[in-house]
Structure 1
Amino acid sequence: MKFSALHIEENTKDSRLVERVLLMHFPDCMYTNVDNLSDFIEHIENRTPDIVISDYGLANHSGEVFLKTCRIEIPDVPFVFLTKSSVINIRSKLISDGASDVLNKMEVERLPDVVEHALLQTQTNEEANILVTILSQISDPIVIRNNFGFITHISDIACLHLGRSATDVVGTRDLKVPVEFRPIKDSKGNKIGEIGHLRVGSAQMKKYEMN
């Protein structure tokens, strides 16, 4: 998994530990450490990270300031707290304020799993937004399937042509009609599925409709 992690941490020893833990599990991770708000803002203005990891009790600013800044400037980027503070006392508030998770530094071995889950959730949300946007902007017989070949979305006009409901189609693999598929890619160029256009005027389609 290739991604960029921005770590807000004043303790050099702790930052090196987090870097080692991340690189051990994600060799392609691009790690950056900042220790103050101005450097944090400068970094996100020039290069948006894929995930932010932050201490909570910093000398000049609370971790909540970094979280709020992140939610304003880069709202879709997951934010994970890694702190020596008592997680029990702050977890619920920070999650409600937009943090993806809150870990104690004694739980650093859990960080890779938390990071991976947060990144996958972000990707899933992005994929869903892309697909919903595509379907909302078209009035054609469109079918969308994931990378495993299962149909995940279908437009109303496609259902009309097929004479089937979306419930009947979603989750299946074969429509038994000709469909021309092309890749759908996210903002980083990764294939997240395929979009297909029913060939409504084809002989095969007419034969299906008569049956």
Structure 2
Amino acid sequence: MTNESIDILHVDDNTKFANVTETFLNEVDDRFRIHSETDPTAGFEYLLANDVDCVVSDQDMPGSTGIEFLEKVREEYPDLPFILYTGRGSEEVASEAIRVGVTDYLQKGSGNDNYELLANRVANAVEQARTRREAERTRTQMRAIVENTNDAVVIVDTTSTIQYANPAVESAVGYAPDELVGESLTLLMPTRLEKPHVQALNRYLETGEKSFDWESVDLVALHRDGREVPISISFSEFEQAGERRFIGVFSVTSSE
């Protein structure tokens, strides 16, 4: 975990309980900065005007419930960590909270252990949210680079099925990106190279042994018009949604 501060909005109509909760949470984790409100309306107004990393809310409050508050928050902040911290839990409440999009659900209890559990839930939820946002920023930046590079980029899965192709592929091999997605990578290979490619991929998947230097290799690609075009290509591997992916970045080295 990082040492970055964590701003928490705590909504609970019981002021005494809110103060005790704030005291204990600050003792458990000095990164916490807690702002308390006694009703969801004031809580939502605070949320609109301030940066908040996590909302912790009671369920049963005068004029509104924690789930109704959650529904309102989700309309504006679909990914903001929201923990329902309720004194009277039930399967019905838990089920409804999950349906609406609660991040976590915790029943109030006495003793330090309960506050430590709440602190851990808050910290974990915030860390996961920050990791997702950072990953999304990275994906957005990488997509912007890939979409605008002059090099052709193709991503395939372990069956050599093309999952992505960037716009530069069309100028290199004549196919628009959407014509390639879902097709086999062998579509871009002369017939004589198809079998060696499949064998090399299967061997790598089974043993991890590479048949050639992935950093740079000279090959030929099959253009849409039937021509063979010489290319310089590099390969790398990454994981996407738990699945192995292979990326090839190539450029045509000469033209006829």
> Under TM normalisation by the shorter chain, which class is it?
0.5 to 0.7
Deviation at 1:28, TM superposition (A): 3.0
| 2:238 equivalent to 1:170 | yes
Picking from 61, 68, 73, the partner of 1:70 is 73
Query: How many pairs does the alignment contain?
Result: 161
For residue 141 of structure 2, what is the aligned residue in structure 1? 134
Partner of 1:27: helix, strand, or coil?
coil
Partner Cα distance (1:129, 1:79) in 2: 20
Picking from 82, 98, 117, the partner of 1:79 is 82
Picking from 34, 38, 46, the partner of 2:49 is 46
Deviation at 1:169, TM superposition (A): 3.3
Deviation at 1:102, TM superposition (A): 0.7
The answer to whether the 8 Å contact 1:56/1:83 transfers is yes
Unaligned runs of 5+ in 2: 152-164, 169-213, 215-230, 240-248, 252-256
Partner Cα distance (2:86, 2:64) in 1: 14
| 2:156 equivalent to 1:120 | no
Residue type of the partner of 1:134? Q
Deviation at 1:133, TM superposition (A): 1.1
Picking from 87, 91, 95, the partner of 2:94 is 91
The answer to whether the 8 Å contact 1:87/1:103 transfers is no
Residue type of the partner of 1:99? V
Partner of 1:20: helix, strand, or coil?
helix
Deviation at 1:6, TM superposition (A): 0.3
Query: Structure 1 residues 83 and 170, CA, compared in 2 at 3 Å: closer, same or farther?
Result: same
Unaligned runs of 5+ in 1: 142-154, 172-197, 201-211
Higher strand share: 2
Deviation at 1:78, TM superposition (A): 0.5
The answer to whether the 8 Å contact 1:48/1:74 transfers is no
The answer to whether the 8 Å contact 1:87/1:102 transfers is no
For residue 182 of structure 1, what is the aligned residue in structure 2? none
For residue 191 of structure 1, what is the aligned residue in structure 2? none
The answer to whether the 8 Å contact 2:9/2:34 transfers is yes
Deviation at 1:56, TM superposition (A): 0.3
Once the two structures are superposed, residues 123-169 of structure 1 have per-residue CA deviations (whole angstroms, 9 ceiling, x without a partner) of: 1210221122112223336xxxxxxxxxxxxx978x986521xxx43
The answer to whether the 8 Å contact 2:82/2:104 transfers is yes
Partner Cα distance (1:108, 1:24) in 2: 10
TM-score by length of 2: 0.55
Query: Please, what is the CA RMSD of the aligned residues?
Result: 3.1
The answer to whether the 8 Å contact 2:67/2:96 transfers is no
Query: Structure 1 residues 161 and 42, CA, compared in 2 at 3 Å: closer, same or farther?
Result: farther
TM-score by length of 1: 0.66
Partner Cα distance (1:22, 1:88) in 2: 26
